[in-house]
Amino acid sequence: MIHSLFLINSSGDIFLEKHWKSVVSRSVCDYFFEAQERATEAENVPPVIPTPHHYLLSVYRHKIFFVAVIQTEVPPLFVIEFLHRVVDTFQDYFGVCSEPVIKDNVVVVYEVLEEMLDNGFPLATESNILKELIKPPTILRTVVNTITGSTNVGDQLPTGQLSVVPWRRTGVKYTNNEAYFDVIEEIDAIIDKSGSTITAEIQGVIDACVKLTGMPDLTLSFMNPRLLDDVSFHPCVRFKRWESERILSFIPPDGNFRLLSYHVSAQNLVAIPVYVKHSISFRDSSSLGRFEITVGPKQTMGKTVEGVTVASQMPRGVLNMSLTPSQGTHAFDPVTKMLSWDVGKINPQKLPSLKGTMSLQAGASKPDENPTINLQFKIQQLAISGLKVNRLDMYGEKYKPFKGIKYMTKAGKFQVRT
Amino acid sequence: MTDSKYFTTTKKGEIFELKAELNSDKKEKKKEAVKKVIASMTVGKDVSALFPDVVNCMQTDNLELKKLVYLYLMNYAKSQPDMAIMAVNTFVKDCEDPNPLIRALAVRTMGCIRVDKITEYLCEPLRKCLKDEDPYVRKTAAVCVAKLHDINAQLVEDQGFLDTLKDLISDSNPMVVANAVAALSEIAESHPSSNLLDLNPQSINKLLTALNECTEWGQIFILDCLANYTPKDDREAQSICERVTPRLSHANSAVVLSAVKVLMKFMEMLSKDLDYYGTLLKKLAPPLVTLLSAEPELQYVALRNINLIVQKRPEILKHEMKVFFVKYNDPIYVKLEKLDIMIRLASQANIAQVLAELKEYATEVDVDFVRKAVRAIGRCAIKVEQSAERCVSTLLDLIQTKVNYVVQEAIVVIKDIFRKYPNKYESVIATLCENLDSLDEPEARAAMIWIVGEYAERIDNADELLESFLEGFHDESTQVQLQLLTAIVKLFLKKPTETQELVQQVLSLATQDSDNPDLRDRGYIYWRLLSTDPVAAKEVVLAEKPLISEETDLIEPTLLDELICYIGTLASVYHKPPSAFVEGGRGVVHKSLPPRTASSESAESPETAPAGAPPGEQLDVIPTQGDLLGDLLNLDLGPPVSGPPLATSSVQMGAVDLLGGGLDSLIGAPNFVAPPAAAVPTNLGAPMGSGLSDLFDLTSSVGTLSGSYVAPKAVWLPAMKAKGLEISGTFTRQVGSIAMDLQLTNKALQVMTDFAIQFNRNSFGLAPAAPLQVHAPLSPNQTVEISLPLNTVGSVMKMEPLNNLQVAVKNNIDVFYFSTLYPLHILFVEDGKMDRQMFLATWKDIPNENEAQFQIRDCPLNAEAVSSRLQSSNIFTVAKRNVEGQDMLYQSLKLTNGIWVLAELRIQPGNTSFTLSLKCRAPEVSQHVYQAYETILKN
């Protein structure tokens, strides 16, 4: 199982190590550093690195490498999933997960890691159980602790730990009982030069914030559940009920959690809410190129597209760009060759555009790669797949909760080739 | 008020300061001090000097302080074992605490203290905790058993913890079950032979019930455990599959992949006609696709596994091509894997899309990726015949870009396309020739030269082109040199009149001026061929080449089947069986897919492979490297598709040897125009070498007089126990007869006479063939050596252990009894060589349960040496095969009582550990045969 964990920052310093079995010398990370050096970018460090006696499995998040050391045959996905869980937990505890924050809270981090694994076996990874064992630091608690000498380590066995509903603690009480659900969809798409869709898929999630007293039993039904043929559920969802009736029935965890994630695949027709018109030309002989892009709405069901940003990695031969946007702000970094344009809202009457010239390296031949345009956008009150919640009912408790459902569509990896 | 304050004291007296604070009376100060210590520890500072002071803080009712001290203890107890003893009392006390959290914490920490002295004290508390009323304590204790086993396996077995752990599988709490399974799996991994996880329908049922209720991690353990079970028939397999499928919708990707493994494995047992089979296939696709929307690291592992799955069951993902399209900001390791799978899924139906994508990728920035994309186009052409034309034109477009590495890569793949579709696309040669000058990579140069040589008759200036390469002959890499040599010979055979000079030049360059034996040998071969029999030369050099096929990059089916059993593990990431890389070569049990029980046709199982596929099957595939025929036909351009470069050096050595052997007969040929004399002696190197090794063989056999290995004599009966008679001895087998070599020593003060010997009944009916003859009385301090001939016609009784022999020796003083173990190889008879066909049939015939696998470690011999050494002990090599650089020896032996034992010995060059698989109808002998192997090979 998982032997040790090293946290390494992007400059290659190990700033935290934790061992769950015997101590593994940190020199084992040298193999990782070698791989890091070979990879041009941090993202490209391979996640599985063999060394003569160990295997190093790593994830890269928040500019930190989380490197797990294992010695025997362990499912790598198990380790990688766990590492992501560690990052999520840190984020949950400290708001952000960064080197300074981890260093500031090193003792809590250490205590949490100790609770998460025992002998390399996962012990408690549910955030609500962890939080009962090790209280997250808050300014108030730190002050109180210093004054009263009490601790941030719970001395009670977390109640959820062994019950049939391990994700929920007992004795939850709220004065305002509320349950909010966010249906968030991200479109991953590749659009080719001519504007036709090569592939498009939707990654959707339903995130919930449930603050209900007692042991509520909820059911959530959809207008069009047939859209959901590829789903992953939170453990609380009763799978049998879903299979037979296509209804989500569950006792929710307390607080924030992800109820389900789903995937609408490339085979279904996916509506593409925006289009990009582009004309980028590098002229062979002269050292000037023309650049023009326009962004417009496509299938938005009448909703506004907002939060639009455009980013594009320009070819190395581009020295500088002089562009004028019709709205928003733009920037070009001549070192990284990254063009970014913060567009904002799209007004269908007056489409935003960005045009101008590029100065190219004199004498160099025409760049052979065309830049790919990366698009970000948001559409409120719309689930692009058409998914709609029908109703939410609560059983098992007497009070009437306040319910709310929100929809949102975002761009995931939305790429337009030019 | 953050923890960073704990790092601030970096003055000289830091440790001293901390010491004072730790011993402070104030609780708060103590805790702060311990926190500082922990903080220093986390960044790798050595604070072990504070051990006694920290341990003093342990007895506290403050839980946080206790936890912190425990953290410290776990880290440093090993370096301070004597001090660590101090902590034992507190642990024992804490294990009785009314708070289950504290009990669990104590048992958890105890197990992490890797100090032998302490572990003994921990057995009692652990035993209690394993039976604790609180499931939280029980599940923690279960893991503790695994920890303890890691420290002291013997102790765990002696204390009976393993049985308690097995009982926990039936625990009422699913979490306890999951942890017990996890602990047992980990222990089983270091004890492959032990039958710890004894799976039967009842226990499987318990596991399946627990599966629904335990945490995600517990589900992974249980699923991985289920995957090791073999259902008794297809109905049981289906019912397990039905209960596992809901796991495919789990949010944790590791759970999903483990479930996929179980399903892929058990599916093998289901009949394809079953409705359920089709449903299952459909259910498998969505979760696999979903894995690809996870974080890149997860995607990578998922893709490596999908690569296996699409090879085994392409139907699952055949409609999902698009999800493998590459996004430009995918990490490179994801891009390369996606590309691989795209090609595997390419078919006539989707080839247009795939090609358009590949062409797009070929204009990206990342060089490695671009290269692979170009290669992929070539692979598509080879795989989907209808697309070949389009692929070629795409490649030509790419060549027009003039981007150097794209052009080179394109030429390499076009060469492969020519090999697959001869006489179809040669019109493009002219375009290729235009780019001759820009080629600077050996592989591309070699490919271009091959094309020029192969199509010399259609290229007007072929001679000029080749001549231009010849100028810098010695600066070229071996690959290019070999290729150039062959190409010019081809050219000469096609246009003999105008290229005589050229061929002379290249032959002399290759034979006289080169110190590469491979090149030289090939040069001589050609030279002699050309000078003796040009017709034969034409037949050899211009022979029709076998077509290549796309199958060359597929994983061998037997390996694939094995890997399918390892979905989700490191083995699946590396596409190698665990035995090939698992640390320490802990005996890894081979896994195989269960045979289909419902249908009559038995599924391919790894056992059907040995002794080599019939050669006919491989005709349309490129011959493996190092194959002499392939070498002469000049197919050494490497496999047609990208892949890890094969170790060519060893291959070339093989070729040298083969050529060297053949040279002898060539030298004897009558009308042979001798090559420059100076070169001859070097060529004799090879035959001389083999002569020399013959000599060595001789010496090695002289030692044992063509008999099997004889162990040195060991004392069987010490003088103490036999009133002064000491007997030592050993067993030998020479030329078909078994003997017991005895050495009797009289250590008493009186003379011994009237010796006689008798054997008890034993497993193989060993009995003295003659009476024990001691000719003269044995006087005090005298020693006599006797060889007692044995036969195997005595009465038979199975002994425990099998090779136990009980002996009674009598003399004038008393009767003495002793028992000894004989090495099994004295029972291996001389006619133990089975013929190939027979071997294959028998191997298949013996049920798989009878197969036993062993590791032979630290044996530095190579396959030849192993084979000859074993042969002298009557273990015969029936066949030898080379699979992916490993030598596989298939061997047979026969025991005196007619039992055949079949063996497969796997030897990896450079690895001193061999894997031995034994199959025998009487599986109880396997263990002893293995020991015989050990003794023979290691002495």
CA distances to A97, A232, A248, B294 from A235, in Å: 26, 9, 12, 18
* CB within 8 Å of A59: residues ≥ 6 apart: A47, A65, A66, A80, A83, A84, A87, B295, B297
Cβ–Cβ < 8 Å for A408, A182: yes
Cβ–Cβ < 8 Å for B642, B372: yes
| CA B40/CA B43 separation, integer angstroms | 6
Task: Tell which of A81, A146, A318 to mutate to test the B interface (max B CBs under 10 Å).
Answer: A81
| CA A140/CA B588 separation, integer angstroms | 55
**What is the Cα B822 distance to its own chain's centre?**
32
Q: SS3 sequence, chain A?
A: CEEEEEEEECCCCEEEEEECCCCCCHHHHHHHHHHHHHCCCHHHCCCEEECCCCEEEEEEECCEEEEEEECCCCCHHHHHHHHHHHHHHHHHHHCCCCHHHHHHCHHHHHHHHHHHEECCEECCCCHHHHHHHECCCCHHHHHHHHHHCCCCECCCCCHHHHCCCCCCCCCCCCCCCEEEEEEEEEEEEEECCCCCEEEEEEEEEEEEEEECCCCCEEEEEECCHHHCCCEEECCCECHHHHHHHCEEEECCCCEEEEEEEEEECCCCCCCCCEEEEEEEEECCCCCEEEEEEEEEECCCCCCCEEEEEEEEECCCCEEEEEEEECCCEEEEECCCCEEEEEEECCECCECCEEEEEEEECCCCCCCCCCCEEEEEEEEECCCCCCCCEEEEEEECCCCCCEEEEEEEEEEEEEEEEC
pLDDT of the residue at B757: 87
Q: Which residues of chain A have pLDDT under 70?
A: 138-166, 266-268, 284-286, 363-369
What is the enclosing helix (H) or strand (E) of B890?
Answer: strand B886-894
Q: Residue B403 is nearest to which of A17, A110, A368, comparing CB atoms?
A: A368
What is the enclosing helix (H) or strand (E) of B683?
Answer: helix B679-704
- Supply A212's token pair: 């209900």
A158: preceding bond cis by omega (within 30 degrees): no
pLDDT of the residue at B610: 39
**Residue with token string 């490993």:** B886
Residue B460's region, left for phi above 0, alpha for psi from -120 to 50, else beta, is alpha
- Supply A370's token pair: 């065309």
Would the CB atoms of A233 and B258 count as touching at under 8 Å?
no
Chain A residues with CB-CB distance to B43 below 8 A: 15-17, 106
CB of A118 less than 8 A from some CB of B: yes
Sign for the pseudo-dihedral over CA of B327, B331, B332, B336: negative
**Which residue in chain A is spatially nearest to B406 when comparing CA positions?**
A368
Sign for the pseudo-dihedral over CA of A42, A44, A45, A48: positive
Q: What is the pLDDT of residues B247-258, one digit of tens each?
A: 888 888 999 999
Sign for the pseudo-dihedral over CA of B452, B458, B463, B465: negative
Rg (chain A; Cα; Å): 25
Would the CB atoms of A118 and B173 count as touching at under 8 Å?
no
Chain B residues with CB-CB distance to A108 below 8 A: 3
Judged by DSSP in three states, B216 sits in helix
3-state helix, strand, coil in chain B (%, to 5): 60, 10, 30
Q: How many CB pairs under 8 A join A and B?
A: 258
**Which residue in chain B is spatially nearest to A140 when comparing CA positions?**
B1
Sheet containing A231-233: give its strands across: A231-233, A255-264, A197-211, A178-191, A402-417, A372-380, A305-313, A338-344, A329-333
Phi, psi angle pair for A25, to nearest 5°: -60, 145
Nearest chain B CA: its distance from A400 CA (Å): 30
Q: Residue B568 is nearest to which of A46, A47, A77, comparing CB atoms?
A: A77
Would the CB atoms of A110 and B42 count as touching at under 8 Å?
yes
pLDDT of the residue at A285: 61
Residue B530's region, left for phi above 0, alpha for psi from -120 to 50, else beta, is alpha
- Supply B547's token pair: 């077509």
| CA A199/CA A158 separation, integer angstroms | 46
**What is the Cα B461 distance to its own chain's centre?**
50
CB of B250 less than 8 A from some CB of A: yes
Query: For residue B643, with 0-12 CB atoms within 10 Å meaning exposed, 13-18 middle and 19 or more buried, which class applies?
Result: exposed
* CB within 8 Å of B918: residues ≥ 6 apart: B851, B852, B853, B854, B901, B902, B903, B926, B929, B930
Q: Residue B290 is nearest to which of A108, A232, A266, comparing CB atoms?
A: A232
Looking at residue B602, the DSSP 8-state letter turns out to be P
Q: What is the pLDDT of residues B601-610, one digit of tens each?
A: 444 443 433 3
CB of B691 less than 8 A from some CB of A: no
Residues β-bridged to residue B854: B916
| CA B68/CA B63 separation, integer angstroms | 9
Q: What is the pLDDT of residues A59-81, one digit of tens each?
A: 999 999 999 999 888 889 999 99
**What is the Cα B281 distance to its own chain's centre?**
30
* CB within 8 Å of B487: residues ≥ 6 apart: B449, B450, B452, B453, B454, B456, B466
CB of B578 less than 8 A from some CB of A: yes
Rg (chain B; Cα; Å): 35
Cβ–Cβ < 8 Å for B878, B891: yes
- For helices B332-345 and B296-312, what crossing angle results, to 10°? 20
Query: For residue B365, with 0-12 CB atoms within 10 Å meaning exposed, 13-18 middle and 19 or more buried, which class applies?
Result: middle
Judged by DSSP in three states, B144 sits in helix
Would the CB atoms of A110 and B250 count as touching at under 8 Å?
no
Q: How many other CB atoms sit within 10 Å of the CB of residue B339?
A: 24
CB of A193 less than 8 A from some CB of B: no
pLDDT of the residue at A158: 55
| CA B419/CA B634 separation, integer angstroms | 12
Would the CB atoms of B295 and A78 count as touching at under 8 Å?
no
Cβ–Cβ < 8 Å for A5, A68: yes
**Torsion (CA) A159, A161, A162, A168 in degrees, nearest 10:** 70
Task: Please count the residues of chain B.
Answer: 939
Sign for the pseudo-dihedral over CA of A20, A26, A27, A32: positive
Nearest chain B CA: its distance from A389 CA (Å): 20
pLDDT of the residue at A6: 93
**Which residue in chain A is spatially nearest to B354 when comparing CA positions?**
A198
- Supply B596's token pair: 């289909």
pLDDT of the residue at B899: 83
pLDDT of the residue at A366: 66
pLDDT of the residue at B655: 37
Q: Residue B39 is nearest to which of A107, A266, A417, comparing CB atoms?
A: A107
CB of B297 less than 8 A from some CB of A: yes
Would the CB atoms of A75 and B224 count as touching at under 8 Å?
yes
* CB within 8 Å of A197: residues ≥ 6 apart: A189, A190, A191, A270, A272
CA distances to B142, B451, B733, B734 from B741, in Å: 52, 69, 10, 12
> Does this complex have an ipTM over 0.85?
no
- Supply B609's token pair: 């492979």
Chain A residues with CB-CB distance to B578 below 8 A: 73
- Supply A153's token pair: 């380590």
Q: Which residues of chain B have pLDDT under 70?
A: 1-13, 43-44, 192-195, 549-553, 580-590, 595-708
| CA B42/CA B72 separation, integer angstroms | 10
pLDDT of the residue at B694: 38
Would the CB atoms of B28 and A149 count as touching at under 8 Å?
yes
